[in-house]
Structure 1
Amino acid sequence: MAHFQQLPVSVIIFGCGYVGTALARHLIQQGVRVGALTRNAEQAAGLRALGLEEVIEAELDSAEWHGQVRGRYQAVVNCVSSAGGGLAGYRKSYLAGQQSILDWARSQSIGSYVYTSSTSVYPQDGGATVDESADTRAAPPTGQVLLESEALFAEAAFLPNWYVLRLAGIYGPGRHYLLDQIRDGAGEIPGRGDYALNMIHLEDIVAAICAVISGGAPAGIYNIADDGPATKAEVLTYLAKALGLSSPVFNPENVSERLKRRGGRMPHRLISNKKAREALDWRPKFPSFREGYAELL
């Protein structure tokens, strides 16, 4: 866990879903005043029950919510997820949503702005170790949208402290796709198991966000991944053993349409978290999938 300097007095969270709700809960426990925006009415009700200062129901990419924000906030966290609908949904959520927040933020006195992007912007393969300086020009179309959204910060000269956190594959309480895949897979897993899964536990994401909004860290882009990427076969074999099930058998012939568009397999790359560990005074509480899933199991 990071050692924070001083959490801001107030934080507003945009796209307050899985990550945002966990962040809001933690901040409230620390005495921080929290506001949030979500497009989901059920999610909004849950946030109000948590005790947030204000909860706004709106589409992030519109400007209608700008006048609905009553409070003033020291820090902004944008952890929106895709609105669905393929590439158009990506552009609506990530690009138009980001622009809308920045338009609103110009009238505020924002001390720090955090955007949770994704390590999917990296096109590298072949077992390469990937840090924040890696070439992203060959990113897939969805990754290109995220890169465009990140690039909006370069034009926002009024933001001295901005942070792009490129998150690896998220897992944690209530989100354990691999565990479900082993339980429901009847021994056969679609696709291949010979590529690295770069993962990050929900608690470690919250800790990284708190580290950057607490002040003192250099602005810029940070990879947020655990210390121990492992192949999908290694992870699922471990989980199967932990559950008392037989080792999974992968079927490379059975691939999803999404994977077919990516050449039939996921890229094999190792995401480095060295910059975040050194610059943010942040260490994953769950350094590998073993520690993370041990708690979930």
Structure 2
Amino acid sequence: MRILVAGATGAMGRQLVPRLVRAGHEVHGMSRSESKRELLRELGAVPVVADALDPDQVARAVATASPDVVVHQLTAIGPMDMRHFDRAFAGTNRLRTEGTDHLLSAARAVGVTRFVAQSFFAGYDRVGGPVKTEDDPFGTEPPAGMEQTVGAIRHVEDAVLAATWTEGLVLRYGGFYGPHTSLGPDGEQTEAVRRRRFPVVGDGGGVWSFVHIADAADATVAAVERGAPGVYNVVDDEPATVATWLPLLAEALGAPAPMRVPRLVGKLLAGETGAVMMTELRGASNARARRELGWSPAHATWRDGFRELGAQVRVEGGAAA
């Protein structure tokens, strides 16, 4: 198949494009930067330069590529600021609203038969049990300070699933870790844990779901090739509370145990959004993706993945020394 990957040079794109090429697909990689042409060629893609926020550029790019499938992986995530979450995600939110609409319009014009889009597990309503399926309420009760971000995620999902002229699939990824992510060997979150700047807030009862970026890319290839239209949680097998996974991440990185602070102090440090994510977040089940996409994560649990991350950090730290 001919596939257009929008956001082809991000953390996901760098994993996804070579996998699609190895699977025998013709891949066109879209980036807004002329300087990324060579990287796109190295990844195995035909370079396509277009600003996703410019509808005319998107229309030309999609018409030129004439793909069977569009994969929407557009993000523009800056330095993380939990106290001002929506501000940190403002660029990505525009890509998830305006960018999604431009891609869908252009895809419809050329008769794209399948449209796969990125979403995020953390939008599940914080009611009921700790682990959610795709049938549970999503995005109707965002934390204060995260309303715009969750609203943008909902826009992606609603727009893609409403596109009856194509097969729309939405992938609710878990928290990424691995190369080129914020929880990679030189990532922002990794450094925060190493410097003991990532505390356990309150009881640390928020449940997180993770997925290694390579496993997420494998699931995305599966979604390109098979699976009914709909929503899929792309997460590993072990949702876990912050109080469980954060100390083990610190241990794997050779860092001191994380501090523990009361919820009120956590709210002062990380805002309402940060406090909610640490104490109230719900995790996700990957049963549907396993069953209907025929996918299973090579890193079945973050425990294995974090040990691998710790080993990489030690190797790179030794090399830097």
> If the length of structure 2 is used for normalisation, what is the TM-score?
0.79
SS of structure 2 residue aligned to 1:223: strand
Deviations 1:39-59 (A, max 9, x none): 244444422333312221423
CA distance 1:168–1:61, shift in 2 (3 Å): farther
Q: CA offsets, 1:84-131, max 9 Å, x none?
A: 673753442101111101111112232311001111221225653211
2:14 is matched with which residue? 21
Q: Equivalents in 2 of 1:11, 1:210: separation in Å?
A: 11
User: Are 2:125 and 1:132 aligned?
Assistant: no
1:94 to 96, 99, 109: 96
Q: Counterpart of 1:34 in 2: which secondary structure?
A: strand
Where do 5+ consecutive residues of structure 2 fail to align?
79-85, 312-321
Query: Aligned AA for 2:178?
Result: G
How far 1:206 sits from its partner (Å)?
A: 0.9
2:30 is matched with 37
In structure 2, C-alpha distance between the alignment counterparts of 1:97 and 1:258, rounded to whole Å: 32
Amino acid at match of 2:251: K
Change beyond 3 A, Cα 1:257–1:102: farther
C-alpha separation in 1, matches of 2:265 and 2:121: 25
Q: Pick the aligned partner of 2:192 from 181, 202, 227.
A: 181
Could you tell me which residue of structure 1 aligns to residue 67 of structure 2?
Answer: 73
The whole-number CA distance in structure 1 between the counterparts of 2:261 and 2:38 is: 42
The question of 1:123 aligning with 2:116 is answered no
Q: Distance between the aligned counterparts of 1:15 and 1:47, measured in 2? A: 11
Q: Is the 8 A contact 2:222 2:294 kept in 1?
A: yes
SS in 2 for 1:59: coil
- Cα distance in 2 for partners of 1:238, 1:27 equals 34
Matched-pair contact (CA < 8 Å) for 2:210–2:236 = yes
Q: Which letter does structure 2 place at the counterpart of 1:54?
A: P
Structure 2 counterpart of 1:166, from 168, 172, 185: 172
Structure 2 counterparts to residues 200-215 of structure 1, below 5 A:
200-215=211-226
SS of the residue corresponding to residue 247 of structure 1 reads coil
Contact 1:131 1:271 survives alignment (8 Å): yes
Is 1:144 aligned to residue 151 of structure 2? yes
Aligned length: 286
Higher percent of residues as helix: 2
CA contact (8 A) 2:194 2:254 kept: no
Cα distance in 2 for partners of 1:68, 1:246 equals 49
Kept after mapping to 2: 8 A contact 1:120/1:139: no
Question: What code does the residue aligned with 2:245 have?
Answer: V
AA matched with 1:174: H
Change (3 A) 1:269 1:209: same
Gaps of 5+ in 1: 1-8
Residue number in structure 2 paired with 1:283: 296
The alignment partner of 1:107 has SS state of helix
Compared CA separation, residues 53 and 273, structure 1 to 2 (3 A): same
Counterpart selection for 2:242 from 211, 215, 232 = 232
TM-score by length of 1: 0.85
Q: Which moved more, 1:105-114 or 1:203-212?
A: 105-114
Give the SS at the match of 2:172: strand
In 2, are the aligned partners of 1:48 and 1:55 still within 8 Å (CA)? no
Give the match's secondary structure for 1:268. coil
8 Å CA contact retained: 1:83, 1:90: yes
Q: Please, what is the CA RMSD of the aligned residues?
A: 2.6
Work out whether residues 116 and 169 of structure 2, in 8 Å CA contact, stay in contact via their aligned partners in 1: yes
Return the offset for 1:83. Answer: 6.2
